Amino acid sequence: MKDVAAVRKFLPQIYAVFLVTAVLCYITSFGGFFEQWNGLARKAPVVRFTTFSVLTVFLAAIVALLTITLSAKAVPCNERLTGALMRVLNVLAFVSFGVMVVFALASAPLQRHYLPQLGYSTCNALKGNPSVWFTDWVRNPDWCVKGKSLEWVNEQARAAAPPGRP
């Protein structure tokens, strides 16, 4: 019972941590994760790949599952349920670490292999690049101008597009 009281006392802080983490995950790269793939699907003039953006999905899931598990412990729920939630949380944390290692090792080679086949050229000159955290790819190598922004590349693509095409 002492454990349940401690969890109940800690629960408001866990809810706050969950909300802050969810908002930060979305602001920093979770939204960008979907934008990257959407950009590729619509053949955007420039795509910035953030290597670890997929990990924000796992981080948000871990914090959400931790919040659910602690809430179940605070009620208190069935021990089998909380035990199962803890096992899922442990597996998710382990899988997240594995995904992080795989992405760290495979992301750049996979990008260098597949993106040129989709018509993209690597660009290390745009504003904010190069960085270990992201890689820029442009559809037209002439748009890779040192110090220019992603917005500038998009403007160049709109200006070069034939009338009637966005």
Going by C-alpha positions, the residue among 8, 120, 152 that lies closest to residue 71 is 8
Return the closest-CA partner of residue 60 out of 105, 29, 36, 91: 29
Q: Which residue has the higher pLDDT, 155 or 100?
A: 155
Does a structural domain hold residue 109?
A: yes
What's the structural domain count of the chain? 1
Domain annotation covers residue 165: no
Residue 116 lies in a domain: yes
Reported pTM: 0.66
Which domain, by its residues, includes 33?
2-160
| Per-residue pLDDT tens over the stretch 80-101 | 888 898 898 889 888 888 887 8
Per-residue pLDDT reduced to its tens digit, 17-72: 889 988 887 777 666 777 888 888 889 999 988 766 777 777 888 888 888 888 88
Region 137-156 average pLDDT: 91
Q: Is residue 136 part of a domain?
A: yes
Residue 166 lies in a domain: no
Do residues 70 and 14 touch, judged by C-beta distance below 8 A?
A: yes
pLDDT at 40: 87
